[in-house]
Amino acid sequence: MQTTEGWEALSQALELRFQKKLNLEAILLLIGMHEMNIYQKGIKKEVKVDLMHIGLCKLLENDGYYEINHYDEDGWPIYELKKPLPDLSLASQIDFIQSKMVEYFKKIEFIS
């Protein structure tokens, strides 16, 4: 299955880059940090949660699930849910998010 192969390639590339295996939450955080151009250590937990939310919304934006409604006074995007998310089992949710992560990292040319 292409998604599985893509996920394995992404997982390996990220592990090589960061010298450790990243879980889904860490990858969402990484996407949020990339989107917000935040590349620092020691980020507060509340900010990490916000960055993970931005990461998830960014992954689902291309399929029309989320859209940026506006930016707050600090320049952070405020996303709005535009259509219901698919009703999936937990395993299917993970597969879905992993496939969106693969698409994202291909788009930014981190993997091919």
| Buried b or exposed e, range 10-33, using 16+ CB within 10 angstroms | bbeebeeeeeeebeeeebbbbbbb
Q: Residue 2 has what pLDDT?
A: 52
Q: Walk along the chain (112 residues) and give the pLDDT tens digit of each residue.
A: 456 789 999 999 999 999 999 999 999 999 999 999 998 889 999 999 999 999 999 999 999 999 999 999 999 999 999 999 999 999 999 999 999 999 999 999 999 8
Q: Global pTM?
A: 0.92
Pairing outcome for strands 66-71 and 77-81: antiparallel
- Residue 4 has a pLDDT of 79
Q: What is the DSSP string of the chain?
A: -HHHHHHHHHHHHHHHHHSS---HHHHHHHHHHHHHT---S---HHHHHHHHHHHHHHHHHTTTSEEEEEE-TTS-EEEEE-SPPP---HHHHHHHHHHHHHHHHHHTTS--
